[in-house]
Amino acid sequence: MEKEARPSWDNPLQFVLACVSYAVGLGNVWRFPYLCQMHGGGGFLIPYFIMLILEGIPLFYLELAIGQKMRLGSIGAWTAISPYLGGVGLASVVTSLYLCLYYNVINAWSFWYLFHSFQSVLPWADCPINSNRTGFIEECETATSTQYFFYRQTLDISSSIEENGGIHTGQALCLLLAWGITYMFIVRGVKSTGKVVYFTSTFPYVVLFIYLIRGVTLHGAINGVIYMFTPKMEQLANPTTWINAATQIFFSLGLGFGTLIAFASYNQYNNNFERQAIVVSLINSGTSIFASIVTFAIYGFKATVNYENCLERTRLLLLNTFSLAEDSITVDSLSSWIDRLNTTYPEQFAELTNKLEDCNLERELDTAVEGTGLAFIVYSEAIKNMPLSQLWSVLYFFMLLLLGMGSMLGNVTAIITPLRDFKLVSNMSNELLNGLVCVFCLLLGLGFTTTSGNYWFTMFNDYGANFSLLFIVLIEVISVSYIYGIKRFEKDIEDMLGYRPNWYWKITWAGISPLLLITLFIVYIVNYIQGGTPTYQAWNKELGKSVVTEYPVFAQVFIGLLLVSSVSCVPLTALYVYCRKRKDGRLHRSQRTVSILSTQ
Amino acid sequence: MLEKILVLLCLPSALAQHLCTPGASDGYKVRLSIKTALGDQAYVWNENEMFLFRATLAFAMRTHFNGQMYNVSNIVVCDETPRVSFWFVVTSPLDTSTLVDRKDVEEAVRKSRNRINSAFLLTDKTLEFIGIAPTLAAPVYPDPPPWLIVFGVVMGAVGAGIIILLVTSVLQKKRKKNEKSEGEDDEEDTRVKTVENGTASDGVYNMSFSDDERFTKM
């Protein structure tokens, strides 16, 4: 009797939690609220859910089915579907490798901020004092203290991607810790990962819930939530809204990396993944919406605080210029006082006009930020204004860590599982292989902790995965629907689940999803070509803000390499297999003639 | 006689008063924000408070110029506003018609800034000397920095965790190898054919009894 020695999840719940932990990541917290705000608030939910139904859930189901049926990592699974398609799996592994390299750097930053929260005064709350103790450091004055802490003290960023300094030791230590923890979580493969995901998938919800309560009770938070969720339906007419909804669903579910195939390959053969696919996708989207309520509450609080500080500064300015008693002007009577002073002392008032700020709450609410800027600058600015800020800071960065670590588990598993399937490597122990992969990624990842590291990080973030994933998943869905055949696929699923998938799945796999993906693919290419030279945001010390700068030639070449290296795996592998088959075919023919000759 | 003495006494202060003008080159503008600092417990600014201010400033001048006897009368104040802001100049104790240089006044104020602030229960932000930058408190940098301590704790825990996991798996493998070598002598038909990835490291889980249910529910 043939017994399988492939490890597996202890129970189906571990598998579901692993998928949730992987899919629910930092993008839910820092990308979705931005999109929601930019594309009409509550109205954005409509294209979002439509795309979820048309493309998200079917593609998720597809990957799980492949993994569970083939019981191999992405390379082995695609080779089993068709030998010429092994390159799809290889492309997934390469893309996952790029992701692993830079994603753990975010965890390193989270660690850095987490450790710095254990101080009586949060270090990003105040500017540090300059050398002759007369004021604050100039860079901190022109920017804000939170920006200074992120760009100078956390990253020690250089002014462009060409300039390089040394490695930031603190960052390197935090990256080492991040990889150490990742190794500890995956060291025994799915056995250790399965236990860890109980915590990494559930605790972020606890923190989000606590933050929700804290958030909505903050002064001015409700303004933010109402303003940003009020649907602006006219945005639905904008095609970018639909494109962004489709792209967000696609990337948020983590399709194309090979992680889902890897996770599903450890399942029992008859596991009901159909229900699990729907549940995980819905949980992922629900978490995005939940996180955006929290984010909008924080935005509202921050905007209200900034607005009130602006009013207070105006009040003080008027008091000091016209030497009025302190309690004569209050914040509420500010506008009437401005008119009165303008009419009584017009010349003096005229001198003030360039110093007088226009305090506008809506303008503060309209500033939309995404990505690391949201997570590390906007949120930490809001946290420093909360009472008991150290506690909130620790909770928040711990949550970011859990979200990031959960996704990292999936990313590393996507590399290790296909590697294990190769005969060369299968004799190595789990611990050794995992350790080698972690050390390799750590060493390469140290490049992101240098002074220009953040610019390389942004490059990898923007170009490392997006294009390749679209390509990979497009090939995946077309090959399953047309090369492998929907009929064969149906039968496989019936073999596993006991019933055939209904018409909804078949229509989306064979028709709607490929069309959507082709559209996204074309739009991406057109945008890339039309966008001209790719640019990035370089931090300017003197101005105290980010400036749009063009990538130098070597960086553009590197971007091209990133894009080509993963995509080219597909045609190159197909070519290689074709050549091998031709050679083997000729060899077999010559062997048969020899045996025929020898028997005579 | 008495009138003459009175006139003589009033003359210096009257003479000195004209030296104080808003915008005087050797004077400074002071601004107090009492209500902002103290809220409900704010005191009212009156003549007595002004006297205290002049006395404190005289104290500051005395401390800085060790030996010169500055008096309350040497501090001349003018242009009081409801904001509670005013200009002051400092006359030399030796000659009441000359003013003490700007820089000296600044140094004296800087030296005793803390004492002046505390006399009025105010801070550098609420008792402003326009033109005199406050000397900010020297930053306290504890050595080693606190974040390194937390990092060390977490790193140590992770290191210990990794070592424990590796050691237990090595021990498990050794134990299994011993059991296997005993088992191979007794039974010949328990042949585990390792498929695909051939991991033999986590061997406690026995697959043969796991496929009880055909359809595993979630």
User: Environment class of residue A264 by beta-carbon count within 10 Å: exposed (0-12), middle (13-18) or buried (19+)?
Assistant: buried
The answer to whether B159 faces chain A, any CB pair under 8 Å, is yes
Note whether A147 and A377 are within 8 A (CB): yes
pLDDT of B10 over the 90 cut: no
Cα–Cα distance measured from residue B87 to residue A132, given in angstroms and rounded to the nearest whole number: 27
What mean pLDDT is predicted for residues B62-91? 86
Provide the residue type at B173 as one letter.
K
Q: Is B198 helix (H, G, I), strand (E, B) or coil?
A: coil
Cα–Cα distance measured from residue A418 to residue A420, given in angstroms and rounded to the nearest whole number: 5
pLDDT in tens, A390-408: 999 999 999 999 999 999 9
What mean pLDDT is predicted for residues A157-163? 86
Binding residues of A: 23-24, 28, 252, 284, 403, 407
- pLDDT category, A235, cuts 50, 70, 90? confident
The pLDDT, as a whole number, for residue A208 is: 92
pLDDT of A4 over the 60 cut: no
Cα–Cα distance measured from residue A231 to residue B64, given in angstroms and rounded to the nearest whole number: 66
| Contact: A430, B35; criterion CB under 8 Å | no
Cα–Cα distance measured from residue A105 to residue A375, given in angstroms and rounded to the nearest whole number: 14
Distance of CA B194 to the CA centre of its chain: 64
Among B199, B207, B215, whose Cβ lies nearest the Cβ of A272? B215
Of the two residues B138 and A312, the one the predictor is more confident about is A312
Q: Is A131 helix (H, G, I), strand (E, B) or coil?
A: coil
Cα–Cα distance measured from residue A573 to residue A569, given in angstroms and rounded to the nearest whole number: 6
Q: Which two tokens stand for residue A433?
A: 């292989």
pLDDT in tens, A175-194: 999 999 999 998 888 888 88
What mean pLDDT is predicted for residues A138-148? 86
Crossing angle between the packed helical segments A389-421 and A169-186, to the nearest 10 degrees: 60
Note whether B16 and B76 are within 8 A (CB): yes
| Contact: B165, A184; criterion CB under 8 Å | yes
Q: Name, in order, each residue with C-beta under 8 angstroms of B163's C-beta and a sequence gap of 6 or more.
A: none
The pLDDT, as a whole number, for residue B14 is: 60
Cα–Cα distance measured from residue A346 to residue A341, given in angstroms and rounded to the nearest whole number: 7
The answer to whether A430 faces chain B, any CB pair under 8 Å, is yes
DSSP code for B82: T
What mean pLDDT is predicted for residues B114-122? 88
CA angle centred on A147, ends A141 and A148, rounded to 5°: 55
DSSP code for B100: P
Note whether A273 and A65 are within 8 A (CB): yes
DSSP code for A549: E
pLDDT in tens, B172-186: 889 988 887 776 655
Among A16, A326, A429, whose Cβ lies nearest the Cβ of B35? A326
DSSP string, B13-65: HHHHHTT--TT-TT-EEEEE-HHHHHGGGPPPP-HHHHHHHHHHHHHHHHHHS
Cα–Cα distance measured from residue A96 to residue A115, given in angstroms and rounded to the nearest whole number: 28
Cα–Cα distance measured from residue B146 to residue A399, given in angstroms and rounded to the nearest whole number: 21
The answer to whether B83 faces chain A, any CB pair under 8 Å, is yes
Q: Name, in order, each residue with C-beta under 8 angstroms of A305's C-beta and a sequence gap of 6 or more.
A: A219, A220, A382, A385
Complex ipTM, two decimals? Answer: 0.81
pLDDT in tens, A418-464: 888 876 767 778 788 889 999 999 999 999 999 988 999 989 988 88
For residue A498, which of A271, A278, A280 has the smallest C-alpha distance? A271
Binding residues of A for Na(+): 23-24, 28, 252, 284, 403, 407
Lowest-confidence pick of A33-37, A286-290, A537-541, B2-6: B2-6
Cα–Cα distance measured from residue A308 to residue A331, given in angstroms and rounded to the nearest whole number: 8
Note whether A442 and A176 are within 8 A (CB): yes
pLDDT of A3 over the 50 cut: no
The length of chain A is 600
Q: Is A254 helix (H, G, I), strand (E, B) or coil?
A: coil
Phi and psi angles of residue A570, each rounded to the nearest 5 degrees, phi first: -65, -60
Cα–Cα distance measured from residue A225 to residue A463, given in angstroms and rounded to the nearest whole number: 32
What is the pairing mode between strands B85-90 and A545-550?
Answer: unpaired
What is the pairing mode between strands B75-81 and A545-550?
Answer: unpaired
The pLDDT, as a whole number, for residue A136 is: 82
Cβ contacts (< 8 Å) between A498 and chain B: which residues?
Answer: 214-215
What mean pLDDT is predicted for residues A81-110? 92
Tell me the CA distances in angstroms from A212 to A21, A486, B213, one per residue in order. Answer: 20, 45, 41
**Which residue from A minimizes the CA distance to B168?**
A188
Cα–Cα distance measured from residue A115 to residue B154, given in angstroms and rounded to the nearest whole number: 10
Average pLDDT, chain B: 78
For residue A19, which of A523, A471, A555, A413 has the smallest C-alpha distance? A413
Reported as type and span, the H/E element at residue A123 is: none
Interface of A with B in 248-277 (CB under 8 A): 268-272, 275-276
The pLDDT, as a whole number, for residue A490 is: 92
pLDDT in tens, A256-295: 999 999 999 999 988 899 999 999 999 999 999 999 899 8
Note whether A45 and A289 are within 8 A (CB): yes
| Contact: A325, B84; criterion CB under 8 Å | yes
The pLDDT, as a whole number, for residue A542 is: 85
The answer to whether B25 faces chain A, any CB pair under 8 Å, is no
The pLDDT, as a whole number, for residue B193 is: 45
pLDDT in tens, A294-353: 988 988 888 898 888 888 888 888 888 888 877 778 878 888 888 888 888 888 777 777
The answer to whether A135 faces chain B, any CB pair under 8 Å, is yes
Interface of A with B in 27-66 (CB under 8 A): none
Most A CBs within 10 A among B199, B202, B215, hence the mutation to make, goes to B199
What pTM value is reported for the model?
0.84
Query: What CA dihedral angle connects A519, A522, A523 and A526, to 10 degrees?
Result: -160
- pLDDT category, B206, cuts 50, 70, 90? low
Q: How far apart are the first and last CA of chain A?
A: 40
Integer Rg of chain A from CA = 28
The pLDDT, as a whole number, for residue A404 is: 93
pLDDT in tens, A569-585: 899 999 999 998 898 88
Of the two residues A411 and A142, the one the predictor is more confident about is A411
The pLDDT, as a whole number, for residue B196 is: 45
Max Cα–Cα distance, chain A, nearest Å? 122
pLDDT in tens, B143-168: 778 888 999 999 999 999 999 998 99
What mean pLDDT is predicted for residues A58-66? 93
Facing residues of B78 across strands?
B87
pLDDT of A144 over the 70 cut: yes
Of the ranges A77-81, A529-533, B135-139, the best mean pLDDT one: A77-81
Output b/e per residue, A185-216; b: 16+ Cβ within 10 A: bbbbbbbbbbebbeebbebbbebbebbeebbb
Note whether A371 and A28 are within 8 A (CB): no
Average pLDDT, chain A: 88
Provide the residue type at A7 as one letter.
P
What mean pLDDT is predicted for residues B125-136? 82
The answer to whether B192 faces chain A, any CB pair under 8 Å, is yes
Cα–Cα distance measured from residue A320 to residue A317, given in angstroms and rounded to the nearest whole number: 5
The pLDDT, as a whole number, for residue B13 is: 56
What mean pLDDT is predicted for residues A22-42? 88
B140: how many CB neighbours lie within 10 A of its CB? 5
The pLDDT, as a whole number, for residue A507 is: 92
Cα–Cα distance measured from residue A480 to residue A85, given in angstroms and rounded to the nearest whole number: 10
